[in-house]
Amino acid sequence: MSVIPAGASSNDPTAQEAETDIDLVLQCQQGNQQSFRQLYRRYCARVRSTLYQLCGGEALDDLVQEVFLRAWKGLPQLRQASQFSTWLYRICWNVASDQRRQFAQERSFNSKLKTARDVLSPSDSKHSQSPDLMELHYQDIIQRGLQQLSFEHRAVLVLHDLEDLPQKEVAQILGIAVGTVKSRLFHARTSLRKYIQQQGEIL
């Protein structure tokens, strides 16, 4: 029997905050499937969003399920329950990497990429007061620009700028040094800014 509830909602009014991640992880390590279902509801939306931004919408449901199946199987070996979220993002990265190697092609991105505007342009940019049509146009340019980035640079930008994870945690997730995260983030932002400027957008 699957430990992932079919059609489970990420909005559980009672179980979401009733117990800490540490409590739930320790219970899962004792074989408690109900505790794992609570972790699933708590993290499903974030896992889904991250995978969508890295891999696109194709086979998204299968990828989400693969992440949580790997998590369930790997929980007995997780030594630091307090690191569950970082560990889960690491599984997301591994699943996304496997997916990319399997299909060997670029994927589309979430409309959430509009938040990258705050990183790429000053607050007084002309776009800050643009109408909805211009906003959508700008988002589309960012999406196409991100598709030009390498998978490694894209991952750093997604995790840090879109998922709001600190650089240290991004480094742990990707298995690289913090200095490498900073370098990739710098080059990713620079490349994206250059692409946008080439499209005639003035930052």
pLDDT tens, residue by residue, 51-100: 988 887 888 999 999 999 999 999 999 999 999 999 999 999 999 988 88
All structural domains of the chain, each given as residue ranges with its CATH number in brackets, are: 21-103 (1.10.1740.10), 111-198 (1.10.10.10)
> Which string of b and e fits 125-138 if b means at least 16 CB within 10 Å?
bebeeeeeeeeeeb
- pTM flag (> 0.95): no
For residue 108, name the pLDDT band (cuts at 50, 70, 90).
very low
Q: Is pLDDT at 161 greater than 70 in this prediction?
A: yes
Quick check: 150 pLDDT over 70?
Answer: yes
What pLDDT, in 10s, does the model give residues 190-200? Answer: 988 888 888 77
- Say yes or no to pLDDT of 138 above 90: no
Taking each helix axis as running N to C, give the angle between helix 60-74 and helix 84-103, from 0 to 180 degrees, rounded to the nearest 10: 130
Average predicted confidence (pLDDT) for the chain: 78
